[in-house]
């Protein structure tokens, strides 16, 4: 059952990789966003779903990655180097910060993680020499061949590759001792501590893994859009959307997170295209309806149909 | 002498922050719900004051009397109709639900009022009050006075009234309160209504001082967070102490490091408090 699901997941994502063969630039743009959202949702699921810590730090990691990588790219570094640097910075930073922040629980952790993004945003805003501050940061066009379509294909494939990497790592975490430890922590942290789970280390690792791929996605995003500014990449919606996606799919399930990300993007795009003026309102309405009527997400629909009632 | 002026500014700001945070703290402490709509409630209160003054000629002080029952009813209904359904769910669910509701409310405000900044300007202006070297605008002093009165009123309601005692009882021990015959769900709704009323009234007062825009909702919410953590959760005196502390830190911090770092400073303070004194200055352990 579990194995079948994971295979289905990889099959689905691999299939998405064929998009450049028949897609035009718009479809590729959507595909890139789909992969980016899926990376965010799957990553958030490690700390929020597996460990049960409601993190609002996704926007912080994304912005950090976008700026760390973006500054390097602007100075002429290679994309791979920028990616590695952003990933390492996010991982290391999250390990250090996690050891401190993850002593907090519930609302307190939620707020502290939210504050990380706000502080980073302000720091980015004021470090004008390095980041361009409120003027934003221009990232030069790389030596890309193939015109618009070629560039779109490149960025799609890069984001898609990162999604595959993130999925591989997260599925490995789920099956490893780390994943088991995190499940113990979610159910009862004191008891987990008692039987010898190194809770601080495990939680910090979960926090770091929830950040590393998001930061790298941030770098790819910066390279893709060529211009970033603090309100754009530290957008608080980047912290909330992954949670909505994970809830939409079904909390704690990696398959659900990917599914949730894709469905969410679909809804967002339709609303955004047709009802621009009210799109945040519609997003809010969706969140409310989802929480009140489908609290266990899309993956619970099948179960519900089989048993004829809502799961407990 | 410069110091005295900054001290005065910090105190005025701090009293208003206390008023912003008192309702937020009540809802968080009693319901264990972080109401992300709080900032939008405040802005909505500001618009109410602006509209009442510009179309009806009603002074903001009178608007307070309208805002309080209006926002109480609104908050009561939101809690009864929506939040009470998921009140037992994990933190994440209630937090995300209020976030969704806030998106709706904020979007509605942008549609209704547009995103441009407005300002409530009293005619004739109230002028300034000079006490030695310290100069403070009179409208700020009056707003500060009302903020203190409102916060005091909330304190008295929680201390003396029947519904206030019920709220405190539910906060201390929900199960025991239920056994004593307190009806929990209406009490939750009353607490949320009181929180909303405080936010709306704070918004009316803030309309005199800060520009009004739907975009101000998030910064107001941020202030409420920080004040709650500094002062301690769910207590009115905590909100006052936290508000004053934040007001002073922001004023002196702006002087020492420059105004652009005020937000960073307050959030850094927030994180330090969360780590070293999560119960806040006046909070008691076990209420976290």
A223: tokens are 């390279």
Query: How many independent structural domains does chain A possess?
Result: 1
More confident residue, A163 or A2: A163
pLDDT category, B50, cuts 50, 70, 90? very high
Contact B238, B227 (CB under 8 A): no
Three-state SS for B130? strand
Task: With respect to residue A243, please indicate whether it lies within any of the assigned structural domains.
Answer: no
- How high is the pLDDT of residue A150? 82
Alpha carbon dihedral B190, B196, B200, B206, in 10-degree steps, equals 130
Query: Residues A197-210: pLDDT tens digits?
Result: 888 899 999 999 99
pLDDT category, B104, cuts 50, 70, 90? very high
Task: With respect to residue B226, please indicate whether it lies within any of the assigned structural domains.
Answer: no
Contact A246, A257 (CB under 8 A): yes
More confident residue, A17 or B13: B13
**Cβ-count burial B54-78 (b if 16+ within 10 Å, e if not):** eeeebebeebbebbbebbbebbbeb
Contact B271 A115 (CB under 8 A): yes
pLDDT category, A6, cuts 50, 70, 90? confident
Task: With respect to residue A68, please indicate whether it lies within any of the assigned structural domains.
Answer: yes
- How high is the pLDDT of residue A41? 95
Residue B122 phi/psi, 5° resolution?
-75, 135
A226: tokens are 């060529």
More confident residue, B167 or A108: B167
What interhelical angle do B162-172 and B138-160 show, nearest 10?
70
What is the arithmetic mean of pLDDT over A120-146? 81
More confident residue, B283 or B41: B41
Chain A contact for B288 (CB, 8 A cutoff): yes
| CB contact set of A148 (below 8 Å; sequence gap of 6+) | A25
Query: How many independent structural domains does chain B possess?
Result: 1
What is the arithmetic mean of pLDDT over A51-58? 90
Task: With respect to residue B279, please indicate whether it lies within any of the assigned structural domains.
Answer: no
Mutate to test the interface with B, among A93, A109, A111 (most CBs of B within 10 A): A111
CB atoms within 10 A of CB A76: 7
What is d(CA B83, CA A35) in angstroms, rounded to the nearest whole number?
Answer: 33
CB atoms within 10 A of CB B23: 33
Q: Which residues pair with B131 in a beta bridge?
A: B134
Three-state SS for B117? coil
Mutate to test the interface with A, among B33, B37, B92 (most CBs of A within 10 A): B92
- Which range (A298-302, B179-183, B199-203, B215-219) has the least confidence? A298-302
Contact B100 A283 (CB under 8 A): yes
Contact A187, A132 (CB under 8 A): no
What is d(CA B55, CA B68) in angstroms, rounded to the nearest whole number?
Answer: 20
Task: With respect to residue B231, please indicate whether it lies within any of the assigned structural domains.
Answer: no
Q: Which of A194, A173, A167 is nearest to A255 (CA)?
A: A167
- Residue showing tokens 């939750």: B188
What is d(CA A256, CA A301) in angstroms, rounded to the nearest whole number?
Answer: 11
What is the arithmetic mean of pLDDT over B211-226? 88
Contact B218 A236 (CB under 8 A): yes
Task: With respect to residue A312, please indicate whether it lies within any of the assigned structural domains.
Answer: no
- How high is the pLDDT of residue A143? 59
Q: Which of B106, B142, B146, B112 is nearest to B127 (CA)?
A: B142
Q: How far is CA B135 from the centre of its chain?
A: 26
Chain A contact for B259 (CB, 8 A cutoff): no
From the CA of B264, how many Å to the nearest CA of chain A?
5
- How high is the pLDDT of residue A207? 95
Task: With respect to residue A202, please indicate whether it lies within any of the assigned structural domains.
Answer: yes
B121: tokens are 């300007």
Q: Percentage of residues in chain A with pLDDT exceeding 90? A: 35
The beta-carbon neighbor of B274 closest among A108, A118, A287 is A108
- How high is the pLDDT of residue A144? 63
Task: With respect to residue B224, please indicate whether it lies within any of the assigned structural domains.
Answer: no
What is the arithmetic mean of pLDDT over A170-198? 90
Beta strands in chain B (DSSP E): 128-131, 134-137
- How high is the pLDDT of residue A167? 93
Mean residue pLDDT of chain B comes to 87
pLDDT exceeds 50 at position B120: yes
Domain residue limits at A156: 2-236
- How high is the pLDDT of residue B266? 81
Contact B68, B200 (CB under 8 A): yes
- How high is the pLDDT of residue B200? 95
The beta-carbon neighbor of B91 closest among A103, A110, A125 is A110
Contact B100 A291 (CB under 8 A): yes
Chain A contact for B135 (CB, 8 A cutoff): no
From the CA of A18, how many Å to the nearest CA of chain B?
35
Contact B283, B235 (CB under 8 A): yes
Three-state SS for A184? helix
Whether the ipTM is more than 0.90: the answer is: no
What is the arithmetic mean of pLDDT over A50-57? 90
Domain residue limits at B14: 2-217
| CB contact set of A266 (below 8 Å; sequence gap of 6+) | none
What is d(CA A66, CA B245) in angstroms, rounded to the nearest whole number?
Answer: 35
pLDDT category, A261, cuts 50, 70, 90? very high
Using an 8 Å CB-CB cutoff, list residues of chain A that contact chain B. Answer: 48, 54, 100-101, 103-108, 110-112, 115-116, 118-119, 122-123, 125-126, 236, 240, 243-244, 247, 251, 277-281, 283-288, 291-292, 295
pLDDT category, A43, cuts 50, 70, 90? very high
Rg over alpha carbons for chain B, rounded to the nearest Å, is 19
A107: tokens are 């609302």
- How high is the pLDDT of residue B44? 94
Q: Percentage of residues in chain B with pLDDT exceeding 90? A: 36
Q: What residues of chain A lie within 8 A of the CB of B263, using their CB?
A: 118, 122
Query: Residues A113-126: pLDDT tens digits?
Result: 888 888 898 889 88
Three-state SS for A239? helix
**Cβ-count burial A28-67 (b if 16+ within 10 Å, e if not):** bbbbbbbbbbbbbbbbbbbbbbbbbbbbbbbbbbbbbbbb
From the CA of A236, how many Å to the nearest CA of chain B?
10
- How high is the pLDDT of residue A221? 94
pLDDT category, A31, cuts 50, 70, 90? very high
- How high is the pLDDT of residue A142? 66
Chain B residue whose CA is closest to A52: B92
From the CA of A54, how many Å to the nearest CA of chain B?
6
Report the alpha-carbon angle A154-A155-A156, nearest 5: 95
Q: Which of A99, A17, A48 is nearest to A243 (CA)?
A: A48
pLDDT exceeds 70 at position A252: yes
Chain A contact for B218 (CB, 8 A cutoff): yes
From the CA of B102, how many Å to the nearest CA of chain A?
7
**Model confidence, pTM:** 0.85
Three-state SS for A142? coil
Residue B173 phi/psi, 5° resolution?
-160, 105
β B128-131/B134-137 pair status: antiparallel
Contact A61, A217 (CB under 8 A): no
- The sign one gets for the Cα dihedral B42, B43, B48, B53 is positive
Chain A contact for B209 (CB, 8 A cutoff): no
| CB contact set of B47 (below 8 Å; sequence gap of 6+) | B109, B113, B203, B207, B212
| CB contact set of A286 (below 8 Å; sequence gap of 6+) | A244, A267, B100
Ordered DSSP codes for B170-227: HHH-HHHHHHTT--HHHHHHHHHHHHHHHHHHHHHHHTTTS-B-GGGHHHHHHHHHHH
Task: With respect to residue B153, please indicate whether it lies within any of the assigned structural domains.
Answer: yes
CB atoms within 10 A of CB B228: 29
Task: With respect to residue B269, please indicate whether it lies within any of the assigned structural domains.
Answer: no
Contact B111 A292 (CB under 8 A): no
């Amino acid at each position: 059952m579990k194995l079948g699901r994971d295979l289905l997941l990889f099959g689905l994502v691999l299939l998405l990789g064929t998009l450049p063969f028949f897609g035009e630039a718009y479809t590729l743009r959507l595909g890139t966003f789909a992969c980016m959202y899926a990376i965010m949702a799957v990553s958030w699921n490690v700390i929020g779903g597996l460990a049960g810590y409601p993190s609002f730090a996704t926007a912080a990691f994304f912005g950090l990655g976008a700026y760390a990588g973006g500054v390097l790219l602007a100075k002429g570094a290679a994309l791979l180097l920028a990616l590695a640097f952003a990933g390492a910075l996010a991982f290391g930073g999250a390990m250090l910060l996690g050891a401190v922040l993850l002593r907090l629980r519930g609302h307190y952790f939620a707020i502290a993680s939210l504050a990380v993004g706000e502080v980073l945003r302000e720091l980015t805003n004021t470090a004008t020499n390095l980041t361009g501050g409120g003027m934003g940061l221009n990232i030069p066009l790389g030596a890309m061949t193939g015109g618009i379509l070629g560039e779109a294909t490149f960025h799609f494939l890069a984001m898609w590759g990162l999604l595959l990497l993130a999925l591989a790592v997260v599925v490995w975490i789920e099956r490893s001792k780390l994943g088991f430890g995190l499940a113990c922590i979610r159910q009862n942290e004191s008891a987990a501590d008692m039987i010898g789970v190194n809770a601080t280390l495990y939680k910090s690792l979960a926090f770091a893994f929830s950040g590393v791929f998001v930061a790298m996605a941030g770098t790819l995003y910066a390279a893709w859009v060529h211009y970033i500014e603090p309100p754009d990449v530290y957008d608080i919606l980047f912290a909330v959307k992954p949670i909505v996606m994970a809830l939409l799919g079904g909390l704690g399930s990696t398959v659900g997170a990917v599914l949730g990300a894709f469905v969410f993007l679909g809804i967002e795009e339709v609303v955004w295209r047709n009802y621009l003026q009210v799109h945040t309102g519609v997003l809010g309405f969706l969140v409310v309806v989802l929480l009140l009527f489908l609290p266990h997400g899309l993956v619970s629909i099948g179960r519900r149909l089989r048993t004829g009632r809502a799961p407990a | 002498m410069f110091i005295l002026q900054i001290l005065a500014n910090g105190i005025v700001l701090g009293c208003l922050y206390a008023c912003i945070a008192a309702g937020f703290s009540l809802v968080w402490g009693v319901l264990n719900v972080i109401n992300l709509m709080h900032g939008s409630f405040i802005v909505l209160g500001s618009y109410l004051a602006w509209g009442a003054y510009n179309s009806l000629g009603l002074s903001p002080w009178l608007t307070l009397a309208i805002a309080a029952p209006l926002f109480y009813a609104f908050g009561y209904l939101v809690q009864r109709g929506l939040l009470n359904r998921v009140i037992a769910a994990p933190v994440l669910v209630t937090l995300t639900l209020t976030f969704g509701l806030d998106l709706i409310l904020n979007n509605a405000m942008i549609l209704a009022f547009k995103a441009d900044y407005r300002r409530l300007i009293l005619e004739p202006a109230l002028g300034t009050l000079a006490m030695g070297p310290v100069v403070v605008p009179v409208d700020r002093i009056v707003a500060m006075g009302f903020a203190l009165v409102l916060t005091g009123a909330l304190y008295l309601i929680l201390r003396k009234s029947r519904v206030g005692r019920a709220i405190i009882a539910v906060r201390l021990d929900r199960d025991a309160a239920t056994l004593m015959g307190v009806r929990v769900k209406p009490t939750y709704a009353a607490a949320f209504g009181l929180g909303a009323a405080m936010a709306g009234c704070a918004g009316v007062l803030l309309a005199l001082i800060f520009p009004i825009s739907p975009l101000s909702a998030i910064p107001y919410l941020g202030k409420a967070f920080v004040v709650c953590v500094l002062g301690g959760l769910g207590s009115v005196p905590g909100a006052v102490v936290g508000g004053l502390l934040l007001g002073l830190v922001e004023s002196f911090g702006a002087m020492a490091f420059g105004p652009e770092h005020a937000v960073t400073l307050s959030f850094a303070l927030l994180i330090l408090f969360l780590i070293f004194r999560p119960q806040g200055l006046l909070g008691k352990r076990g209420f976290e």
